């Protein structure tokens, strides 16, 4: 109904892939599609009429334990999403009225990595969710009753839990785990969607005798971090599951873990049915800045130097974007997206880091970007029409002081301390920008006073959407970066907007309500600034029929 | 008289100095990102300002840390006098200060030989580990009996026969061996024990049939994932102390 002709896609991206990677009436997966574009082909709402966008309904979850960080899933007129305490809601997407509500049992122990649920998956009639106490549950999507529940690993021992949305591939649902700032050996675990039975577990740190174990000094592999706390992407043609792996523990103190520390700070590609590693590419060996390689991986087919390539693109926490060949992990190129960076001077032709600048013990040293990163985990969007990646970002630096630290399993393990400082001769600030995905050439930038911690949404209506920490939700012209519309939601944005059709109309929906780990650092980076407001509310917009 | 006044004035000045010094240490070490926030008002760690605080609890938390909650120990780096100035500052943020001694939880680090047994009990590489079905104190999942209440020998452990395994036959699935968690009018909850991690399955009325005969799962099949040496190590940790 609101579909654009495929011929309108920019000539360069592969049109066949685009047809599978864009969303339409539904928003069926966390990243829109398994290619993680967060781009919709809907264009009923477009640059010509977005000034008429107005709130259609509001739903307040009542769960104020932490921010509403969800990406809602919308299928056939029903919206599903979870709140911070693992309460799950099914709403009629046209009206916001409640169809059913599910509440996971109250927590016995407050999780170290906080109650941060970023999303769910819906497949085979089941809503699948990882919990704050390291369980994974399947809920009947029609009725909201629990079908199965598995304890992934004891949360009190591991100090770990699930904050990211699970990924579905074939018959399996794959769940990640938190870590990196605590002593724990990370993994990905896959379960059969129907029965909950364990399909496989892939440890992101190889064990003794396995290739890569020698990249860990002594027995530091046992509690070395390598978490998988965000959500993977999936290529159904290549049958490869891609996941970003986080940093080694302790974050800033590498004294007991000399070596490259595989597979920390890697993009890994697994067979989703067996969990076998097909390839890996380490982006940052021996990380001592807490830069991870955890963020979303956008899968796109684009020409590089005139030849068509199958790409995996990650805009990293470190302020650099990596572009790999997703068939074999080959390094293609990397480009910076922040102005201020000093942890390296650049990245070479083979992906090697040039000019490593590391923290030192017991003396603070200024690093750019800070431990919050050049961007936070909130997601970018890729538009095949403009052939641009849209992302939020920040220019914030910070002092890191490395320290020796002994630790027990599952306990906090930073190996030092850190703070936030403005970049040299600059203010701490944020931005939204549009980049060529292969060259990194910036098409436009919209400077912001503070970091922006909500995901981008891009549509065929020529629009990109996101919300700011102080409650304003915006639409920008995707080609020019001009602000076309905004609305004041009253609470900070820390989740992901989506778009869908319900009752014959196109909706834009966004979660609102501030919090989260990086959200709570707002005062440390901008002392004295007005505080972002907490809350936990989904807001949906449609075009006002009465206005011209 | 003058001497007393001067002494009081000195003490007040000293207290004021402590607060200033303490606030400087606090700003450098405690207010940092993800922790207690500027002036103890916000952050990932509990807010300190405007609360009822206990002097001993605050001192112990700063000096010894609270390892299981991520609070580092500052006793070594600040020394007793340094900790005192921070305590003075933190208490100056409080709404009320109490001085009664609260009960102190044990913060003792485990001896290495006990730590080995504990780590094996919870080993995520063993699917299932002991902790998948058994709880000790506060941790683990209680599907089977709670452990650590009675001594157990290796022979006795290997001889354990699980008497409560049944066969669950759901309406549209093949039967599987299960341990029943709960049955009530309207819902039946069983643990599927056939895969690497137990799955708690919830069935509505009429969706599953349970039968007491024919189950093949044995406790020995789970115990066999560990060597005798590993089991001995686990039993040393589990043993009541």
Candidates A87, A95, A32, A50; CA nearest to A540 is A95
| A410 to chain B: closest CA residue | B68
Q: Do A147 and B195 touch (CB under 8 A)?
A: no
Q: What is the pLDDT of residue B14?
A: 56
Element (H, E) at A517: none
Question: Is A251 a known active-site residue?
Answer: no
B224-237 per-position pLDDT tens digit: 999 999 999 999 99
Sheet holding A398-402, edge to edge: A365-367, A398-402, A416-418
Is A357 buried (19+), middle (13-18) or exposed (0-12) by CB count in 10 A? Answer: middle
Q: Do A150 and B197 touch (CB under 8 A)?
A: yes
Q: Given pLDDT bands bounded at 50, 70 and 90, which one contains residue B59? A: confident
Q: Which residue has the tokens 């069983």?
A: B190
pLDDT > 70? residue B8: no
Better-predicted residue by pLDDT, A134 or B72: A134
Q: Given pLDDT bands bounded at 50, 70 and 90, which one contains residue A308? A: very high
* Tokens linked to B141: 């999942």
Asked if A99 has any chain B CB less than 8 Å from its own CB, the reply is no
Asked if A187 has any chain B CB less than 8 Å from its own CB, the reply is yes
Candidates A301, A328, A296; CA nearest to A314 is A296
Which residue is catalytic, options A25, A63, A290, A301?
A290
Which residues have C-beta within 8 Å of that of residue A181, sequence separation ≥ 6? Answer: A112, A113, A225, A249, A251, A290, A412, A413, A414
Asked if A140 has any chain B CB less than 8 Å from its own CB, the reply is no
Please calculate the CA angle B172-B174-A128 and round it to the nearest 5 degrees.
65
Please name the member of B72, B119, B138 whose beta carbon is closest to the beta carbon of A156. Answer: B138
Q: Do B42 and A523 touch (CB under 8 A)?
A: yes
Asked if A330 has any chain B CB less than 8 Å from its own CB, the reply is no
Q: Given pLDDT bands bounded at 50, 70 and 90, which one contains residue B70? A: low
pLDDT > 50? residue A132: yes
pLDDT > 50? residue B139: yes
Q: Given pLDDT bands bounded at 50, 70 and 90, which one contains residue A1? A: very low
Q: Do B119 and A409 touch (CB under 8 A)?
A: yes
Complex-level ipTM = 0.93
pTM over 0.90: no
Query: Is beta strand A146-151 parallel, antiparallel or unpaired with respect to B199-204?
Result: antiparallel
Q: What is the pLDDT of residue B11?
A: 42
Q: What is the mean pLDDT of residues A383-392?
A: 97
Q: Do A523 and B139 touch (CB under 8 A)?
A: no
**Residue of B115, B184, B200, B208 for testing the chain A interface, max A β-carbons within 10 Å:** B200
Q: What is the pLDDT of residue A55?
A: 97
| A138 to chain B: closest CA residue | B201
Instruction: Give the distance from residue B17's alpha carbon to the nearest chain A alpha carbon, in angstroms.
Output: 24
Query: Is beta strand B165-170 parallel, antiparallel or unpaired with respect to B139-140?
Result: unpaired
- Using a CB-CB cut-off of 8 Å, the residues of chain B touching A153 are 122, 124
Alpha carbon distance A476, A482 (integer Å): 5
Rg from Cα positions in chain B: 27
Q: Given pLDDT bands bounded at 50, 70 and 90, which one contains residue A198? A: very high
Asked if B109 has any chain A CB less than 8 Å from its own CB, the reply is yes
Q: What is the pLDDT of residue A240?
A: 98
Q: What is the mean pLDDT of residues A476-503?
A: 98
Alpha helix stretches (DSSP H) within B30-99: 55-64, 75-93
The neighbouring-strand residues paired with A200 are: A190
DSSP codes, A165-215: PPEEETTEEEE----SSBSEE-EEEEEETTT--EEEEEESS--TTSTTGGG
Q: Do B68 and A411 touch (CB under 8 A)?
A: yes
Please name the member of A409, A417, A525 whose beta carbon is closest to the beta carbon of B29. Answer: A417
Q: Given pLDDT bands bounded at 50, 70 and 90, which one contains residue A113? A: confident
Three-state DSSP state, A314: strand
A64-80 per-position pLDDT tens digit: 999 999 999 999 999 99
pLDDT > 60? residue B143: yes
Is A304 buried (19+), middle (13-18) or exposed (0-12) by CB count in 10 A? Answer: middle
Is B146 buried (19+), middle (13-18) or exposed (0-12) by CB count in 10 A? Answer: exposed
* Tokens linked to A536: 């936990």
Distances (CA, A) of A135 to A67, A81, A194, A299: 20, 17, 16, 29
Is B101 buried (19+), middle (13-18) or exposed (0-12) by CB count in 10 A? Answer: exposed
Q: Are A419 and A398 in contact (CB under 8 A)?
A: yes
pLDDT > 50? residue A33: yes
Instruction: Give the distance from residue A107's alpha carbon to the nearest chain B alpha carbon, in angstroms.
Output: 13
pLDDT > 70? residue B127: yes
**Residue of B32, B34, B110 for testing the chain A interface, max A β-carbons within 10 Å:** B34
Lowest-confidence range among A145-149, A185-189, B27-31? B27-31
Instruction: Give the distance from residue B54's alpha carbon to the nearest chain A alpha carbon, in angstroms.
Output: 22
- Using a CB-CB cut-off of 8 Å, the residues of chain B touching A411 are 67-68, 70
Average pLDDT value for chain B: 82
Q: Do A201 and B127 touch (CB under 8 A)?
A: yes
Element (H, E) at A429: strand A429-435
Instruction: Give the distance from residue B9's alpha carbon to the nearest chain A alpha carbon, in angstroms.
Output: 34
pLDDT > 70? residue A332: yes
Instruction: Give the distance from residue A504's alpha carbon to the nearest chain B alpha carbon, in angstroms.
Output: 36
Q: Do A154 and B141 touch (CB under 8 A)?
A: yes
Q: Do B44 and A517 touch (CB under 8 A)?
A: yes
Alpha helix stretches (DSSP H) within B30-175: 55-64, 75-93, 112-121, 154-158
Residues 176 to 195 of B: which have CB under 8 A from any A CB? 192, 194-195
Better-predicted residue by pLDDT, A6 or A478: A478
How many CB atoms within 10 Å of residue A14? 17
Alpha carbon distance A202, A213 (integer Å): 14
Please name the member of B29, B44, B124 whose beta carbon is closest to the beta carbon of A520. Answer: B44
Question: How many residues belong to chain B?
Answer: 241
Please name the member of A149, A411, A419 whose beta carbon is closest to the beta carbon of B33. Answer: A419
Please name the member of B34, B67, B197 whose beta carbon is closest to the beta carbon of A151. Answer: B197
In Å, how far from its chain's centre is CA A214? Answer: 30
B29-54 per-position pLDDT tens digit: 787 666 786 677 656 677 787 777 88
Alpha carbon distance B86, B20 (integer Å): 9
Lowest-confidence range among A210-214, A283-287, A295-299, B95-99? B95-99
* Tokens linked to A248: 């080694």
pLDDT > 50? residue A448: yes
Q: What is the mean pLDDT of residues A88-113?
A: 93
Q: What is the pLDDT of residue B78?
A: 79
Q: Which residue has the tokens 């449609």?
A: A542
Q: Do B122 and A157 touch (CB under 8 A)?
A: yes
| A156 to chain B: closest CA residue | B139
Please name the member of A147, A201, A372 whose beta carbon is closest to the beta carbon of B202. Answer: A147
End-to-end CA distance of chain B: 59
- Using a CB-CB cut-off of 8 Å, the residues of chain B touching A185 are 124
Lowest-confidence range among A113-117, A296-300, B118-122, B141-145? A113-117
* Tokens linked to A256: 């007991």
Q: Given pLDDT bands bounded at 50, 70 and 90, which one contains residue A488? A: very high
Phi, psi of A93 (to 5 degrees): -70, -20
Q: Do A418 and B43 touch (CB under 8 A)?
A: no
């Amino acid at each position: 109904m609101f579909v654009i002709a495929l011929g309108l896609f920019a000539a360069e991206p592969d049109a066949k892939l685009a047809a599978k990677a864009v969303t339409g009436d539904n928003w069926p997966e966390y990243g829109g599609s398994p290619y993680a574009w967060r781009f919709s082909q809907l264009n009923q709402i477009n640059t010509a009429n977005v000034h008429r966008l107005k709130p259609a309904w509001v739903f307040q979850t009542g769960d104020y334990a932490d921010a509403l960080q969800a990406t809602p899933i919308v299928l056939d007129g029903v919206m599903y999403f979870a709140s911070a305490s693992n309460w799950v809601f099914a709403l009629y997407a046209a009206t916001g009225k409640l169809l059913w509500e599910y509440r996971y049992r109250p927590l016995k122990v407050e999780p170290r990595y906080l109650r941060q649920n970023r999303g769910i998956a819906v497949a085979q009639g089941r809503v699948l969710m990882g919990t704050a106490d390291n369980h994974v549950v399947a809920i009947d999507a029609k009725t909201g009753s629990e079908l199965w529940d598995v304890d992934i690993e004891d949360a009190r021992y591991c100090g770990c839990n699930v904050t990211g949305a699970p990924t579905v591939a074939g018959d399996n649902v794959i769940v990640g785990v938190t870590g990196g700032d605590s002593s724990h050996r990370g993994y990905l675990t896959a379960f059969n969607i129907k029965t909950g039975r364990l399909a496989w577990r892939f440890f992101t740190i190889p064990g003794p005798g396995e290739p890569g174990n020698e990249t860990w000094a002594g027995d530091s592999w046992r509690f070395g971090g390598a978490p998988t706390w965000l959500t993977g992407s999936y290529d159904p043609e290549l049958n490869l599951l891609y996941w970003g792996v986080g940093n080694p523990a302790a974050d800033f103190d590498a004294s007991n873990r000399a070596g490259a520390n595989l597979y920390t700070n890697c993009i890994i590609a697994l067979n989703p049915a067996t969990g076998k590693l097909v390839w890996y590419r380490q982006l940052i060996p021996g990380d001592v800045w807490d830069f991870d390689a955890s963020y979303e991986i956008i899968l796109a087919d684009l020409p590089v130097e005139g030849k068509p390539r199958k790409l995996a693109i990650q805009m990293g926490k470190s302020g650099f974007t990596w572009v790999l060949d997703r068939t074999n992990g080959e390094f293609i190129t990397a480009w910076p997206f922040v102005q201020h960076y000093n942890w390296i001077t650049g990245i070479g032709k083979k992906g090697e880091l040039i000019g490593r600048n590391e923290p030192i013990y017991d003396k603070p040293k200024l690093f750019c970007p800070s431990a919050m990163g050049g961007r936070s985990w909130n997601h970018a969007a890729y538009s095949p029409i403009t052939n641009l990646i849209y992302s939020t970002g920040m220019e914030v630096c910070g002092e890191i002081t490395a320290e020796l630290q002994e630790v027990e399993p599952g306990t906090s393990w930073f190996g030092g301390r850190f703070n936030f400082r403005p970049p040299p001769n600059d203010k701490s600030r944020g931005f939204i920008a549009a980049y060529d995905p292969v060259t990194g050439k910036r098409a436009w930038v919209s400077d912001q006073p503070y970091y922006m911690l909500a995901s981008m949404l891009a549509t065929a209506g020529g629009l990109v959407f996101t919300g700011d920490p102080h409650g304003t939700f915006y639409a920008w012209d995707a080609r020019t970066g001009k602000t076309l519309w905004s609305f004041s939601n009253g609470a900070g944005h820390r989740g992901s907007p989506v778009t869908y059709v319900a009752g014959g109309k196109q909706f834009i929906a966004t979660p609102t309500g501030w919090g989260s780990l990086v959200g709570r650092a707002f005062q440390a980076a901008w002392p004295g600034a007005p505080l972002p407001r907490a809350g936990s509310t989904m807001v949906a917009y449609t075009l006002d029929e009465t206005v011209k | 008289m003058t001497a007393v006044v001067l002494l009081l004035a000195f003490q007040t000045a000293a207290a004021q100095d402590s607060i200033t010094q303490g606030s400087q240490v606090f700003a450098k070490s405690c207010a940092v990102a993800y922790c207690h926030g500027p002036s103890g008002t916000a952050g990932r760690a509990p807010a300190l300002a405007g609360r009822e605080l206990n002097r001993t609890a605050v001192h112990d938390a700063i000096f010894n840390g609270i390892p299981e909650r991520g609070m580092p120990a500052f006793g070594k780096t600040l020394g007793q006098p340094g900790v005192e100035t921070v305590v003075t500052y933190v208490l100056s943020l409080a709404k009320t200060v109490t001085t009664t001694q609260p009960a102190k939880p044990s913060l003792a680090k485990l001896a290495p030989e006990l730590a080995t047994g504990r780590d094996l009990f919870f080993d995520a590489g063993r699917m299932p580990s002991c902790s998948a079905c058994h709880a000790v104190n506060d941790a683990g999942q209680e599907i089977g009996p709670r452990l650590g209440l009675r001594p157990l020998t290796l022979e006795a452990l290997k001889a354990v026969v699980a008497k409560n395994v049944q066969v669950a036959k759901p309406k549209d699935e093949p039967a599987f061996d299960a341990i029943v968690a709960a049955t009530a009018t309207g819902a039946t909850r069983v643990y599927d024990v056939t895969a690497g991690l137990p799955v708690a399955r919830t069935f509505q009325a009429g969706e599953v049939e349970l039968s007491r005969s024919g189950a093949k799962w044995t406790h020995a099949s789970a115990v066999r994932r560990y060597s005798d040496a590993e089991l001995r190590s686990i039993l040393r940790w589990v043993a009541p102390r």
